[in-house]
C-alpha cells in the first residue's frame, strides 16, 4: 500500500481538506521570519551609511567622485556583509527560542500562511533598516560637501591670487582669513614668492586693515606710521622688501572675515582703478566663502537700508570709503572759506521724515532732527535757501544741537535731477558778519556736485539730457516762424489769485505749468488718473533728449507768479496727421513739492485750429478749471492765468501751408470762453 507523504499528510488529501494553522502558529511563523530580516536590515543600512560617509569624505573628495558613487560602494560593502551575517542572525534567533512552528507543506502553501510569513519579513526589514539609520544621529552629514566645497574653493582662490598678481602687475599676492579662535590672520592662498604664515592683528598695515575694516593703499610704506623694518624690509624671510601695498578687507555680515593683499606694483604705485578691481574681487570672494542664503539675506538688508536713505546704493566698499575720506576735507575747506564755526551735510530719511547727519565739520554733533524743528528742515520742506541773521539778543539754541547758540544760519537745499530734495547744507555762525550772496552761490554750486554724487554715476548724463532739452526748446522758440514744423509757441506771462496750497501751512504755492498737445477736448472728456499719468510721463522722459510734454519754470512761495516765459510745445508724432480741429493744447497748473509728488491744481485747454499763425500782441487772462474728482480741493473761482500762443505753419507735401492762418486769438476749448 501507499505510505505517508513526505510532509506528513495522507495521500490524496485535497487543498480544501488541509488543516488550517492555529493563530499561535501563524504568529510564531511571522516572528521567526521577522527576526533575521531585522538583523539584515540593520546591518545593511548601518554599514552602508558608515562606509558611504567615510568614502564620500575621503575618496570622493580626493578623486572628485560623486556622492552617488559613494552610496553605491557603501551599498556593495553592506550587501557583502549581509551574506555572511544572515546565518549568524538566524542561529541567534534559534538560540533565543524563536523557531518556525512545524507546518506541513500544504499548510505552508496556504494563502493565509504566506501572508503572515511575508508580513513578518516586511516588518522585520522595515524595523531593521530604521534601526540601521542610527549613524545619522552622530555623523556630520555636511562634512563631505564641505570638504568638496573647500577643495573647489581653494582651487578657485589660488587662481584668483595668481591672476591678481598678473593683472595688477604686482610682485606678490595672497589671501588671508581671520581666525576667530586665535584672534589673528592665517594665509589661505599665496603666490610662489610668499610662504604660508600667520599675522597678528596688532602688526602693520594688514593688521590695521583687518581691525578697522578700511582698505589700505600705501605708495611708500616707509613714509607711513605702520612701517616696521622688522616686518617689511625682509618680508616673511623671503628677501623681498615691501615698497607699496594694497590691502582690501573681505566683508561678510558686517564683519571682516579676511584680506586680499597685493604688494610691490612693478610700474609705480597702486591706483584707484586697482582699488576698485580688488574691491570687486573681494566681494566675490566673500560670496564664494558663504552660503547662498546668507548672501541673499545680506543683500536684502543692504537694499532695505538704502531705500530709506538718500543716494544711489553703493555696493563698492572702496567707493564708500573714498566718499567718506574725501567729504571730510571738502567740509573743512567749505567751513574755512565761509568763515563759519560749523557746517553739516544733512540727508533726508524719506521713510521717517527726518534729517540725519552724513558728515559734519566743527562743533555740531552728529544727530537726527525732525523737519518741523530745524532750520534745515524748513529748507528741505520748501526747497528754498534760508539765510537768517540773529541779533545778540535773539541768539537761539538749535533743538537738535544742545548747548550751541545760533547767531546766524545758512541752509541750502540739495536737489536731484527731478528737483526733489535730497537734503541740505547747514552752515552755522559766520564769524565775520552775515552770510553774503557769494556764500549762497558757492554753497549752491557745492550742493549740485553733492547731488551728482548722491544720485550715482548716471546723474551727470541725466543733467546733460535736461540741458539738451532746454537748448532744443530754445531753438524751437527761435525758429517758431519757420514752416514745416509741428509745434505750438506759448507765451506764459503770469497767474493771479491762485488757490492756497494744500501742502504748506502758510498756504503759499510753488506753481509751474505743463503743456501738452492732446487729441480731443480734455475739459469735456476728463481723464481719470491724469496727474499720475503726467508724472509717470515726466519720469519716463528723463532718459530721452526730447519729449512731448513741455514745462515752465517754478515760482516759489507765491499765489501771484510772474513767469514771462516762452514755451515751445511739439505736436507728438502720433498726432502729426490729425486735423487741427481735433487737437487741443492742454495747460495744467501744478504745485511743486520738494519732498513728495507734485499736486495737480487746475487746467484749461485751447483748440489748435483757433490759434493764430503769428504771435499775439499780448497775453490774455483765462480761467482755470478743476481737475476731475477734486472739484472741492482747490478754490479756482478767482484764479486766472495770462497766456498767448501761436501755431507754427504745418507744411504739406508741396511745401504750402495746409490751412490758411487765422487772425483771431485762440480761446479756451468749448464750452468755456475766454475770460475778459
Superfamily of domain 467-647: C2 domain (2.60.40.150)
Q: What is the reported pTM?
A: 0.55
Report, as an integer, the average pLDDT of 389-400.
67
Selection from 346-355, 483-492, 624-633 with the highest mean pLDDT: 624-633
**10 class by beta-carbon count within 10 Å (0-12 exposed, 13-18 middle, 19+ buried):** exposed
Contact 345, 328 (CB under 8 A): no
Q: Is the pLDDT of residue 94 over 80?
A: no
Tens-place pLDDT, residues 205-244:
999 999 998 899 999 999 999 999 999 999 998 999 999 9
Q: Is the pLDDT of residue 297 over 50?
A: yes
Beta bridge partners of 389: 408
Q: Quick one: pLDDT band at residue 7, thresholds 50, 70, 90?
A: very low
Element (H, E) at 282: helix 272-289
Weakest-pLDDT range from 16-20, 226-230, 269-273, 467-471: 467-471
* Beta-carbon count within 10 A of 471 CB: 11
Weakest-pLDDT range from 40-49, 81-90, 179-188, 496-505: 81-90
Q: Which residue has the higher pLDDT, 508 or 411?
A: 411
Instruction: Please give the grid coordinates belonging to residue 267.
Output: 610700474
CATH of domain 146-295: 3.30.450.40
% of residues, the chain, pLDDT over 70: 79
Q: What is the pLDDT of residue 313?
A: 47
- No. of helices (H) and no. of strands (E), the chain: 15, 22
Tens-place pLDDT, residues 555-576:
888 899 999 888 888 888 888 8
Q: Which residues in the chain are classed under CATH 3.30.450.40?
A: 146-295, 317-457
> What is the Cα–Cα distance from 348 to 368, expressed in whole angstroms?
10
**Three-state secondary structure along 586-622?**
EEEEEECCCCCCCEEEEEEEEEHHHCCCCCCCCCEEE
Grid cell 475770460 is found at: 675
Tens-place pLDDT, residues 501-515:
887 767 788 899 999
> What is the Cα–Cα distance from 520 to 18, expressed in whole angstroms?
100
Q: What is the pLDDT of residue 483?
A: 41
Q: Which residues of 51-72 are buried (b: 16+ CB within 10 A; e: fewer)?
A: bbbbbbbeebbeeebeeebbbe
Q: Round the average pLDDT of the chain to a whole number and report it.
A: 80
Q: Is the pLDDT of residue 524 over 60?
A: yes
Instruction: Please give the grid coordinates belonging to residue 306.
Output: 538704502
Report, as an integer, the average pLDDT of 506-530.
88
Q: Is the pLDDT of residue 29 over 70?
A: yes
> What is the Cα–Cα distance from 160 to 283, expressed in whole angstroms?
13
154 alpha carbon, distance to own chain's centre: 30
Q: Is the pLDDT of residue 481 over 90?
A: no
Q: Could you tell me the CA-to-CA distances from 409 to 341, 369, 398, 464, 594 in Å, in that order?
A: 10, 16, 10, 33, 21
Report, as an integer, the average pLDDT of 301-323.
58
Backbone dihedral angles phi then psi of residue 201, each to the nearest 5 degrees: -70, -15
Q: Which residues of 237-264 are buried (b: 16+ CB within 10 A; e: fewer)?
A: eeebebbbbbbbbbbbeeebbbbbbbbb
Element (H, E) at 277: helix 272-289
Q: Which residue has the higher pLDDT, 19 or 343?
A: 343
% of residues, the chain, pLDDT over 90: 31
At 420 the three-state DSSP class reads coil
Q: Which residue has the higher pLDDT, 126 or 402?
A: 126
Instruction: Please give the grid coordinates belonging to residue 360.
Output: 559734519
Q: What is the pLDDT of residue 626?
A: 92
> What is the Cα–Cα distance from 113 to 98, expressed in whole angstroms?
17
Shortest CA distance to 418 belongs to which of 454, 386, 371? 454
Q: Quick one: pLDDT band at residue 670, thresholds 50, 70, 90?
A: very low
Q: What is the pLDDT of residue 99?
A: 76
Contact 132, 46 (CB under 8 A): yes
Report the length, in residues, of the chain: 676
Q: Quick one: pLDDT band at residue 14, thresholds 50, 70, 90?
A: very low
Q: Is the pLDDT of residue 655 over 50?
A: no
Superfamily of domain 317-457: GAF domain (3.30.450.40)
380 alpha carbon, distance to own chain's centre: 25
Q: What is the pLDDT of residue 61?
A: 67
Q: Which residues in the chain are classed under CATH 2.60.40.150?
A: 467-647
Shortest CA distance to 513 belongs to which of 612, 619, 441? 619
Q: What is the pLDDT of residue 466?
A: 67
> What is the Cα–Cα distance from 121 to 37, expressed in whole angstroms?
6
DSSP assignment, residue 582? G
Report, as an integer, the average pLDDT of 105-124.
87
Q: Is the pLDDT of residue 247 over 90?
A: yes
Shortest CA distance to 388 belongs to which of 373, 406, 415? 406
At 192 the three-state DSSP class reads coil
Q: Is the pLDDT of residue 384 over 60?
A: yes
Q: What is the pLDDT of residue 262?
A: 95
Q: Is the pLDDT of residue 654 over 50?
A: no
Contact 424, 375 (CB under 8 A): no
Q: What is the pLDDT of residue 105?
A: 84
Q: Is the pLDDT of residue 661 over 60?
A: no
Task: Locate all alpha helices (DSSP H) within 59-142, ordered by sequence.
Answer: 59-63, 67-95, 105-108, 111-132
Q: Is the pLDDT of residue 419 over 70?
A: yes
Selection from 82-96, 543-557, 600-614 with the highest mean pLDDT: 600-614
Q: What is the pLDDT of residue 666?
A: 46
Report, as an integer, the average pLDDT of 67-89.
77
Q: Is the pLDDT of residue 260 over 90?
A: yes
Weakest-pLDDT range from 26-30, 224-228, 471-475: 471-475
Selection from 319-328, 398-407, 422-431 with the highest mean pLDDT: 422-431
Q: Is the pLDDT of residue 15 over 50?
A: no
Shortest CA distance to 648 belongs to which of 492, 480, 490, 491? 480
Amino acid at each position: 500500500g501507499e505510505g505517508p507523504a513526505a510532509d506528513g499528510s495522507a495521500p490524496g488529501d485535497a487543498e480544501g481538506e488541509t488543516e488550517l494553522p492555529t493563530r499561535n502558529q501563524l504568529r510564531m511563523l511571522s516572528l521567526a521570519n521577522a527576526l533575521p530580516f531585522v538583523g539584515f536590515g540593520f546591518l545593511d543600512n548601518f554599514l552602508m551609511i558608515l562606509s558611504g560617509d567615510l568614502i564620500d569624505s575621503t575618496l570622493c573628495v580626493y578623486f572628485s567622485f560623486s556622492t552617488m558613487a559613494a552610496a553605491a560602494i557603501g551599498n556593495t560593502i553592506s550587501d557583502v556583509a549581509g551574506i555572511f551575517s544572515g546565518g549568524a542572525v538566524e542561529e541567534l534567533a534559534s538560540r533565543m527560542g524563536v523557531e518556525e512552528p512545524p507546518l506541513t507543506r500544504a499548510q505552508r502553501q496556504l494563502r493565509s500562511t504566506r501572508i503572515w510569513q511575508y508580513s513578518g519579513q516586511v516588518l522585520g526589514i522595515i524595523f531593521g533598516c530604521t534601526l540601521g539609520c542610527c549613524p545619522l544621529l552622530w555623523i556630520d552629514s555636511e562634512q563631505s560637501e564641505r570638504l568638496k566645497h573647500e577643495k573647489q574653493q581653494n582651487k578657485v582662490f589660488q587662481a584668483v591670487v595668481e591672476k591678481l598678481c598678473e593683472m595688477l602687475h604686482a610682485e606678490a599676492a595672497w589671501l588671508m582669513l581671520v581666525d576667530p579662535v586665535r584672534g589673528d590672520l592665517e594665509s589661505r592662498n599665496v603666490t610662489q614668492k610668499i610662504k604660508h604664515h600667520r599675522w597678528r592683528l596688532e602688526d602693520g598695515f594688514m593688521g590695521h586693515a583687518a581691525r578697522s575694516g578700511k582698505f589700505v593703499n600705501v605708495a611708500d610704506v616707509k613714509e607711513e606710521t605702520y612701517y616696521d623694518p622688522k616686518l617689511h624690509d625682509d618680508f616673511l624671510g623671503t628677501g623681498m622688501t615691501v615698497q607699496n601695498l594694497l590691502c582690501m578687507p573681505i566683508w561678510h555680515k558686517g564683519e571682516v572675515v579676511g584680506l586680499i593683499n597685493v604688494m610691490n606694483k612693478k610700474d609705480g604705485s597702486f591706483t584707484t582703478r586697482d582699488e576698485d578691481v580688488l574691491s570687486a574681487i573681494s566681494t566675490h570672494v566673500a560670496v564664494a566663502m558663504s552660503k547662498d542664503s546668507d548672501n541673499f539675506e545680506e543683500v536684502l538688508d543692504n537694499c532695505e537700508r538704502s531705500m530709506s536713505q538718500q543716494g544711489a546704493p553703493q555696493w563698492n566698499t572702496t567707493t564708500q570709503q573714498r566718499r567718506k575720506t574725501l567729504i571730510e576735507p571738502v567740509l573743512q575747506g567749505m567751513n574755512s572759506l565761509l568763515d563759519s564755526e560749523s557746517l553739516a551735510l544733512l540727508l533726508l530719511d524719506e521713510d521717517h521724515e527726518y534729517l540725519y547727519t552724513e558728515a559734519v565739520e566743527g562743533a555740531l554733533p552728529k544727530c537726527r532732527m525732525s523737519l518741523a524743528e530745524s532750520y534745515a528742515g524748513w529748507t528741505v520742506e520748501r526747497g528754498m535757501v534760508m539765510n537768517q541773521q540773529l541779533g545778540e539778543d535773539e541768539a537761539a539754541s538749535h533743538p537738535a544741537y544742545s548747548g550751541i547758540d545760533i547767531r546766524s544760519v545758512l541752509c541750502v537745499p540739495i536737489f536731484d535731477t527731478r528737483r526733489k530734495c535730497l537734503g541740505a547744507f547747514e552752515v552755522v555762525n559766520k564769524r565775520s558778519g552775515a552770510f553774503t550772496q557769494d556764500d549762497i552761490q558757492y554753497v549752491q554750486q557745492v550742493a549740485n556736485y553733492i547731488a551728482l554724487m548722491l544720485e550715482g554715476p548716471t546723474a551727470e548724463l541725466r543733467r546733460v539730457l535736461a540741458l539738451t532739452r532746454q537748448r532744443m526748446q530754445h531753438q524751437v522758440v527761435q525758429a517758431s516762424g519757420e514752416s514745416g514744423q509741428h509745434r505750438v509757441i506759448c507765451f506764459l506771462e503770469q497767474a493771479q489769485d491762485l488757490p492756497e496750497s494744500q501742502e504748506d501751512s502758510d498756504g503759499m504755492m510753488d506753481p509751474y505749468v505743463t503743456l501738452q498737445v492732446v487729441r480731443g477736448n480734455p475739459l469735456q472728456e476728463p481723464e481719470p488718473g491724469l496727474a499720475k499719468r503726467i508724472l509717470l510721463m515726466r519720469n519716463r522722459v528723463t532718459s530721452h533728449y526730447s519729449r512731448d510734454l513741455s514745462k515752465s519754470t517754478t515760482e516759489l512761495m507765491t499765489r501771484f507768479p510772474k513767469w514771462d516765459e516762452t514755451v515751445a510745445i511739439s505736436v507728438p508724432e502720433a498726432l502729426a496727421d490729425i486735423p487741427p480741429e481735433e487737437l487741443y493744447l492742454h495747460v495744467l497748473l501744478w504745485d511743486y513739492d520738494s519732498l513728495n509728488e507734485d499736486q495737480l491744481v487746475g487746467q484749461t485747454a485751447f483748440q489748435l485750429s483757433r490759434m493764430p499763425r503769428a504771435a499775439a500782441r499780448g497775453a490774455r487772462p483765462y480761467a482755470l478749471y478743476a481737475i476731475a474728482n477734486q472739484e472741492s480741493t482747490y478754490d479756482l473761482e478767482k484764479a486766472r492765468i495770462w497766456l498767448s500762443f501761436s501755431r507754427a505753419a504745418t507744411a504739406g507735401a508741396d511745401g504750402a501751408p495746409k490751412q490758411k492762418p487765422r487772425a483771431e486769438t485762440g480761446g479756451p476749448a468749448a464750452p468755456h470762453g475766454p475770460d475778459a
